[in-house]
Amino acid sequence: MISKKWLQVAGVAGVVPFILTACGGNSDGGDGGDGGSELSGTIAIDGSSTVGPLSEVAAEMFMNENSGVQVSVAQSGTGGGFEKFCQGETDMNDASREIKDEEIAACEENEIAFESVQVANDALAIVVNPENPLECITVDQASQIWNEGSTVSTWGDVDGIDVGDLSGEDITLYGPGSSSGTFDYFTDAINGEEGVIRNDYTDIGEDDQAAVVGVEGDAGAMAYIPYSYFTEAGDAVKPLQIDAGDGCVEPTLENVQDGSYTPLGRGLFVYASDVALQEQAAVDFMNFYIENSDQITETAGYVPLTEEQKAAANEQIESLTS
């Protein structure tokens, strides 16, 4: 008697979640929309958390027109994404830097050929608290602060920087983790070698917003963040002008596009594997990404491609598919 009931109860307990899921799945059969095209397939994208939101917008717009295609976007970081990409586990990889030699080797080992297409421009900004009177920083000064073995602990320790009352203030540093393309790019541009950086800064992993919150709440803080984060942050943080030897340059859309914002202006890329590009859906998606890049970059808050960059991207896609 007891055992019978017990069995029933156990059975119900096990089955309930699955009934729930099944119901959930069926309740929205009409969601598909009417793209009208017979294109179908799946595209798995992983990679940079900087490029991720951009690819999400592209994927969503693409799926609105092609309801048969399923695009998913994950954000493991540029390096974390390449690790999967080169094992053939994803179709495309978002990258906020170019692929590294050891990653190329890993891809070759698994016989995965790939091509990269630039999908947007981005800029890293060095940001400080709005209370900080500093307006412009040279690459040398930035390197003094961020380089491996740096002895700078207060603002007064940095050569040629006068921040008045804040001179005695500790510089609290925020930066992304080492699997981030943003980290690789910044260390290469500022410290001269990829991965070289002092090791006592606050590691925010892939969560760039944490740097904004950190800098906003601390008068002495400093961080480097992607373009979309400081444009959205408004007055919460202050982006510094960068002087790479030709005077101070502000991180504006125009300066990033024309290349005068150096060395922290960069391209954002999508890498596609040759296996993925044998599918028509993947090829169409890449074309769609470039054709609609103005709208996609604007929605996601990135710097759009210039006409020359678009032409170059189109050529690349053509060479991939022929």
Partner 1 sequence: MVIDKGKRPQRSRLAVAGARAATDSIFATSSRSDRIGNVLFRSLLLLGMGVALLGLVAIILWSLVEGAPRLDAELITEGPSSIMPESAGYRTAILGTLWVIGGVVLFIVPVGVGAAIYLEEYADKTRWWNRAIEVNIQNLAAVPSIVFGILGLAFIVRGPLSLGFVAAAGSFTLSLLVLPTVILAAREAIKAVPNSTRLGSLGLGATKWQTIWHHVLPGALPGILTGLILSVSRAIGESAPLLLVGAVTFVTFDPSFLEGQYSVLPVQIYNYAGRPQEEFRVLAAAGVILMLAVLLTMNSFAIWLRNHYENKNAR
Binding footprint of partner 1 on the chain (CB under 8 A): 2-3, 6, 9-10, 13-14, 16-18, 20-21, 24-25, 28, 42, 44, 46, 49, 52-53, 55-57, 59-61, 63, 70-76, 87, 89, 206-210, 212, 228-229, 231-233, 299-301
The tokens describing 132, both together, are 């900080």
Cis peptide before 176 (omega within 30 of 0): no
To partner 1, the closest distance from the beta carbon of 283 in angstroms equals 20
**Using an 8 Å Cβ cutoff, are 158 and 165 in contact?**
no
Q: Is the CB of 14 or the CB of 160 nearer to partner 1?
A: 14
To partner 1, the closest distance from the beta carbon of 231 in angstroms equals 8
Q: What is the dihedral sign for C-alpha 237, 242, 247, 252? A: negative
Among 122, 141, 126, 97, residue whose Cα is nearest residue 224? 126
DSSP E strand stretches across 112-186: 114-128, 136-138, 173-175
To partner 1, the closest distance from the beta carbon of 1 in angstroms equals 9
Return all residues near 1 (Cβ < 8 A) that are at least 6 apart: none
Widest Cα–Cα separation across the chain: 88
Measured between alpha carbons, how far is 47 from 237 in angstroms, rounded to an integer?
Answer: 27
To partner 1, the closest distance from the beta carbon of 114 in angstroms equals 19
Q: Is the CB of 23 or the CB of 159 nearer to partner 1?
A: 23
To partner 1, the closest distance from the beta carbon of 86 in angstroms equals 13
Q: Is the CB of 56 or the CB of 284 nearer to partner 1?
A: 56
Residue 172 CB-density burial (10 A; 0-12 exposed, 13-18 middle, 19+ buried): middle
Q: Is the CB of 87 or the CB of 202 nearer to partner 1?
A: 87
Q: Is the CB of 77 or the CB of 220 nearer to partner 1?
A: 77
To partner 1, the closest distance from the beta carbon of 245 in angstroms equals 30
Which DSSP category does 261 fall into? S
